Chains A and B, each alone.
Chain A
Amino acid sequence: MTHQIPRPEVALTPLSRAFWTGGARGELVIQRCRGCQAWLHLPRGRCPRCGSGHLGFDATSGKGTLFTYTVVHHAYREGLILPFVIGLVELPEQTGLRVTSNVVGCGPGDISVGMPLHVVFERQKDDIYVPLFEPTS
């Protein structure tokens, strides 16, 4: 992915800012309920588990396992370097807690469901860092 074309720009919102800027500190940041401690992704305005409106954002371990993935071969945009991988990564902090990301640092042929991964970051601009995942050996 090093030489991939520029990513579409991240849109920062009050709910998404923590996720996209945590990489400045090397942290994968996910919303968390201060009432019941549930992790919530995608972030939202109220905890659907306990009803608390008291929500914050915490750093996770940055570890994960590959829940599922696709290897993209179609040139949806001019110059897109193919193939590349879009994965759904399950985080160990909570069953079913998943983030979408690219799996980088290995060839598409070396990827399998269940493989251990860890987060790395790619700076987009300013304080925006896109969380990516690469295999943990």
Chain B
Amino acid sequence: MSPVGRRLGVSSLNLAIDASLAAIADAGLQVADIDGIATMGEASSSDLKDALGANVSWIGTTGFHGSGGHLRYVIDACMAVATGLCKHVLVFRSVNMLSGEWPGGMTDEWAWYLPYHEYSAASLVARYARRHMHLYGTTREQLGSIAITARNHAMLNDAAVLRTPITMEDYLTARWIAEPLGLLDCDLPVDGAAAFVISTADYAHDCPQPAVRFEAVGCALHGDSSWDYRDSYPAMSSTEAAAQVWSRTDLKPSDVDVAEIYDGFTFLTLTWLEALGFCDVGEGGPFVSDPGRIAIGGPLPLNTYGGQLSAGRLHGYWVLHEAVQQLRGHAHARQVQDAEVAVVTAGGGHRMGCLLLTR
């Protein structure tokens, strides 16, 4: 990872270079070994390739579309090595949201929302949360439990940006963004980058660091490619992605030791927990309302690095980085004992993907 912070004054490309060189060194490789690049952005794969001086067999497509959400580029890289096209694919995500480089990600769907003064995913997710509350009795306090747990975990992570404790009162009295979501339901924009090397399985023995294995991936999408018009609303496409990931493994939800679950908004975490089968549909609220259940030391440690809510928004890539740290046993004060299986997820609406990782 690169340094992460608020208004670092470093370009997306330089953040990506920092993170990429760290990942390549961590993998025991040289730039010359990298033969593929995949990224969601913001720095372009070509700019990074030319800055590193890499010669590649494959560069994945960019642009925030397709299924799998933010993790699609990781899944693309897995396919590139699985087909034999590449041996070592560099995957990175650089974010410069405070410095204004984010190019958007708006697609045709937004043409139907913008005339209604809809400018953010917050109001889209808020409508899901409201419907979930209406159907299942989910409460603000239950969403607050996710935010407070994230902050507690961020306090154990030197790299997290927000590290002062918050109370339920802080959560409930924070200003509204889009009801029923308040400021502390929303993740923290930061500048930063994370990078990974995804290699063929036979390289695992030669890694200087413990390799983490992909057990299964999930990127299925059924129904409409839209936020507002899915037949199964308020179920998101996490339902399909999660069903797919469990269909490709013998492992079960009860085998998961650590859950690094996307929290661009608290409600997205709740919906992922339901989709992955950690609780029944509609039971996400009661599930997270017991902080002991989702804290480090509990049965399902959640977002052990502090989440995007408190550590900072690396758009689905800090969850992956943290899962790797946990499975390697390198998570220091926040280490989950004997972590062998981790689930990683990212996205909301119809752009959602998940990974099941083992050590």
Real complex partners, A and B?
Answer: yes
Taking Cβ atoms with an 8 Å cutoff, the residues of A that contact B are 4, 7-11, 13, 16, 20, 41-42, 67-74, 76-77, 80, 83-84, 86-88, 96, 98, 100-102, 108, 113-114, 124, 130
Q: Tell me which residues across on chain B come within 8 A of A16, comparing CB atoms.
A: 111-112
Q: Tell me which residues across on chain B come within 8 A of A83, comparing CB atoms.
A: 176, 179
B228 touching A98, Cβ below 8 Å: yes
Most A Cβ at <10 Å: residue of B127, B131, B226? B127
A7 touching B116, Cβ below 8 Å: yes
Q: How far is the CA of A30 from the CA of B63 in the complex (A)?
A: 30
Interface residues of B in 82-130 (CB under 8 A from A): 109, 111-120, 122-123, 126-128, 130
Q: Report, nearest first, the 6 A-B pairs whose CB atoms are least far apart.
A: A70-B126, A76-B119, A73-B176, A68-B131, A71-B179, A8-B114
Q: Tell me which residues across on chain B come within 8 A of A87, comparing CB atoms.
A: 127
Q: How far is the CA of A41 from the CA of B224 in the complex (A)?
A: 10
Q: List 8 A-B contacts (CB under 8 A).
A: A7-B114, A8-B117, A16-B112, A68-B233, A68-B234, A70-B180, A72-B177, A100-B228
Q: How far is the CA of A70 from the CA of B231 in the complex (A)?
A: 19
B178 touching A74, Cβ below 8 Å: yes
Partner of B120, one of A8, A74, A84, A96: A74
Partner of B116, one of A9, A101, A113: A101
Q: A10-B111, A74-B177, A86-B116 are in contact. List 10 more A-B contacts (CB 8 A).
A: A7-B114, A8-B114, A42-B224, A42-B229, A68-B130, A73-B176, A86-B113, A98-B228, A102-B116, A113-B134
A71 touching B176, Cβ below 8 Å: yes
Chain B, residues 316-331, CB within 8 Å of chain A (1/0): the string is 0000000000000000
How many Å from the CB of A124 to the closest CB on chain B?
Answer: 7
Partner of A7, one of B111, B115, B231: B115
Q: Tell me which residues across on chain A come within 8 A of B122, comparing CB atoms.
A: 74
SS class, residues of chain B in contact with chain A: mixed
Q: Tell me which residues across on chain A come within 8 A of B114, comparing CB atoms.
A: 7-8
A130-B115 contact given A71-B176, A86-B123, CB 8 Å threshold? yes
B252 within 8 Å of A (CB atoms) = no
Q: Tell me which residues across on chain B come within 8 A of A4, comparing CB atoms.
A: 117
Total chain B interface residues with beta-carbon distance under 8 A: 33
Most B Cβ at <10 Å: residue of A8, A77, A98, A100? A100
Partner of B109, one of A42, A70, A130: A42
Q: Tell me which residues across on chain B come within 8 A of A101, comparing CB atoms.
A: 116
Write the chain B residue with the least CB distance to A7.
B115
Partner of B229, one of A41, A84, A102, A113: A41
Q: Tell me which residues across on chain B come within 8 A of A86, comparing CB atoms.
A: 113, 116-118, 123, 127, 178
Q: Tell me which residues across on chain A come within 8 A of B115, comparing CB atoms.
A: 7-10, 20, 124, 130
Write the chain A residue with the least CB distance to B126.
A70
Taking Cβ atoms with an 8 Å cutoff, the residues of B that contact A are 109, 111-120, 122-123, 126-128, 130-131, 134, 175-181, 224, 226, 228-229, 231, 233-234
Q: Tell me which residues across on chain A come within 8 A of B118, comparing CB atoms.
A: 86, 100
Write the chain B residue with the least CB distance to A122.
B115
Q: How far is the CA of A85 from the CA of B233 in the complex (A)?
A: 19
Q: How far is the CA of A105 from the CA of B127 in the complex (A)?
A: 20
Q: Tell me which residues across on chain B come within 8 A of A67, comparing CB atoms.
A: 131, 233
Write the chain A residue with the least CB distance to B113.
A100
Q: Tell me which residues across on chain B come within 8 A of A42, comparing CB atoms.
A: 109, 112, 224, 226, 229
A70-B228 contact given A7-B116, A84-B117, A113-B134, CB 8 Å threshold? no
A88 touching B119, Cβ below 8 Å: no
Q: How far is the CA of A46 from the CA of B112 in the complex (A)?
A: 19
Q: How far is the CA of A130 from the CA of B109 in the complex (A)?
A: 16
